[in-house]
Amino acid sequence: MKQTNRLIIVILILFFTSCRTITVREIKLDETQPLKHNIESLTATNINYTIKGKDTTKSETVIIQYFDKKNNLIKQIDYYPKNRTHTTYFNYNSANLLVTTTSKNQDSIDGMRCEYFYDKKNRVIESKNFYENESWKQKLTEYDSKGNRVMQRLNSSKPSSTDWITLFKYNYKKRFFTYKTLDSNYVAKYKTGNKTYFDKRGYLIKSETYANEELKNLTGCTTKKYDKAGNLMWRKSYGKDGKLKSESYYVNIYDSVGNIIQRDHYYENRVLETSKIVYKYRE
């Protein structure tokens, strides 16, 4: 009887795990964990190393971010070489959803503004970009029943036209999705195909590229690995013959709270980028 009960429990666990909704993350160059504790501000110094043969050049930027008491980002200042700056403000509604961002550099008058619109499930269905108070870009997004993107359309107002449409198709049983990008005439903009796999947390763990839309003739793939907190830890790229072409990985240093205070990005065992972060916590 105990074995039967144990078997029923295992079946139920497998059933609910398989039925769990997976929110698939968007494609990003990097992925790091959410911030911990109540933060008032942080200063991030980013050092990029450009490698050309045996020579390495260094460039540095500084970003200062300010947060409200809910840990929402409300202001960001980017400092670039030659005394160039870019300031962005973030505004939220009563439901704690981002509704507008406004940004300008040291030379602009009105700068850029982006407005966000949501459906009843608090998903972004439209965003509008304005530059110097004139409409510039519009992005429309549609979702499936699991809350993942199935269509994104980018419209331009100069001239008024559709730049591109991206269609997503998911296989939740095998945990992968494919996508293709069409132009305003619904003709494929690219002749290649893509298949991207995700894990049970929605993180993208493998991306395959093909020579055609029919997903035949594999030309290469990239694999990724994350830690338990959701930090991207390494990325490997392979050719169509399955041989390793390149490899990059990340090394993190944490403070006593658990936030990252230094993140080093290595490419082919050489430091490509270093980020050093100093936090100011609320008392």
* Residue-wise pLDDT tens digits, 15-38: 444 445 789 988 787 899 999 999
pLDDT at 65: 97
pLDDT at 10: 45
Report residue 8: phi and psi, to 5°.
Answer: -60, -40
Is the pLDDT score of 114 beyond 80? Answer: yes
- Among residues 155, 189, 149, 154, the alpha carbon closest in space to that of 169 is found at 149
pLDDT at 15: 42
pLDDT at 244: 96
Find the range with the poorest average confidence among 86-90, 243-247, 266-270: 266-270
pLDDT at 82: 83
pLDDT at 269: 86
Find the range with the poorest average confidence among 130-134, 216-220, 235-239: 130-134
pLDDT at 160: 53
**Mean pLDDT of the region 262-268:** 94
pLDDT at 187: 84
Distances (CA, A) of 240 to 44, 71, 166, 216: 38, 44, 25, 12
Is the pLDDT score of 255 beyond 80? Answer: yes
Burial 78-107 (b: 16+ CB within 10 A, else e): bbeeeeeebbbbbebeeeeebeebbbbeee
3-class SS string, the chain:
CHHHHHHHHHHHHHHHHHHCCCCCCCCCCCCCCCCCCCEEEEEEEEEEEEEECCEEEEEEEEEEEEECCCCCEEEEEEEECCCEEEEEEEEECCCCCEEEEEEEECCCCCCEEEEEEECCCCCEEEEEEEECCEEEEEEEEEECCCCCEEEEEEEEECCEEEEEEEEEEEECCCCEEEEEEECCCCCECCCCEEEEEECCCCCEEEEEEECCCCCCCEEEEEEEEECCCCCEEEEEEEECCCCEEEEEEEEEEECCCCCEEEEEEEECCEEEEEEEEEEEECC
Mean pLDDT of the chain: 88
**Tokens 């609320």, residue?**
282
Tens-place pLDDT, residues 205-228: 999 999 988 898 999 999 999 999
Find the range with the poorest average confidence among 15-24, 178-187, 188-197, 240-249: 15-24
Tens-place pLDDT, residues 2-13: 454 554 444 444
**Is the peptide bond preceding residue 34 cis, with omega within 30 degrees of 0?**
no
Q: Which pLDDT band holds residue 158 (cuts at 50, 70, 90)?
A: low
Q: Nearest 10 degrees: CA dihedral of 102, 139, 26, 85?
A: -20
Residue 72 in tokens? 């929402």
